[in-house]
């Protein structure tokens, strides 16, 4: 089984809808991240969490919120989706003892 899983893998939603993307990991890592990738570009950080009680904004957090339900679970919500949030979303994890990050398979989100 994959160490970092994301659900759903693909989603099409309409403008104004609320949507949640979920991430789970079995690596036992304490740090989790949400990134966004727009076509032809690298990834940009949305939010990150160093433990269950620690949530921090990244460079593009506007329009997003997160919840760290447990060490292994980190969810990203779009409260009212808009078309320019159409992107590929990645969850990542890392351990406190290493800077190496491990990425999930991604969620392809389309907002119409």
Partner 1 sequence: GIQVEQSPPDLILQEGANSTLRCNFSDSVNNLQWFHQNPWGQLINLFYIPSGTKQNGRLSATTVATERYSLLYISSSQTTDSGVYFCAVLSGGYNKLIFGAGTRLAVHP
Interface residues with partner 1 (CB under 8 A) are 33, 35, 41-45, 48, 50, 56, 58-59, 88, 90, 92, 98-103, 105-106, 108
By C-alpha distance, which of 17, 11, 87 is closest to 46? 87
Nearest CB to partner 1, comparing residues 15 and 24 = 24
Q: Are 104 and 1 in contact (CB under 8 A)?
A: no
3-state DSSP call for residue 3?
coil
Minimum CB separation of residue 74 from partner 1 in Å reads 15
**Token match 């970092």: residue?**
4
Nearer to partner 1, 49 or 81 (CB): 49
Q: How far is the CB of 34 from partner 1 (least distance, A)?
A: 11
Q: How far is the CB of 80 from partner 1 (least distance, A)?
A: 25
The neighbour count for residue 50, using CB atoms within 10 Å, is 15
Q: Which is nearer to partner 1, 41 or 82 (CB)?
A: 41
- What Cα–Cα distance (Å) separates residue 14 from each residue in 22, 29, 84? 19, 34, 12
Min dist CB 16 to partner 1, Å, is: 26
Question: What is the CB-side half-sphere exposure of residue 48 using CA atoms within 13 A?
Answer: 15
* Residue placing its CB nearer to partner 1 in the complex, 26 or 56: 56
């Amino acid at each position: 089984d994959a160490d970092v899983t994301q659900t759903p893998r693909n989603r099409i939603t309409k403008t104004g809808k609320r949507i949640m993307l979920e991430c789970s990991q079995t690596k036992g890592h304490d740090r989790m991240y949400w990134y966004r990738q727009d076509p032809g570009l690298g990834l940009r950080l949305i939010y990150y969490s160093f433990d269950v009680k620690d949530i921090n904004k990244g460079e593009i957090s506007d329009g997003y919120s997160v919840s760290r339900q447990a060490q292994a679970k980190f969810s990203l919500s779009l409260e009212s989706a808009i078309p320019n949030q159409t992107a590929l979303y990645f969850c990542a994890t890392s351990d406190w003892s290493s800077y190496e990050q491990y990425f999930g398979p991604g969620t392809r989100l389309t907002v119409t």
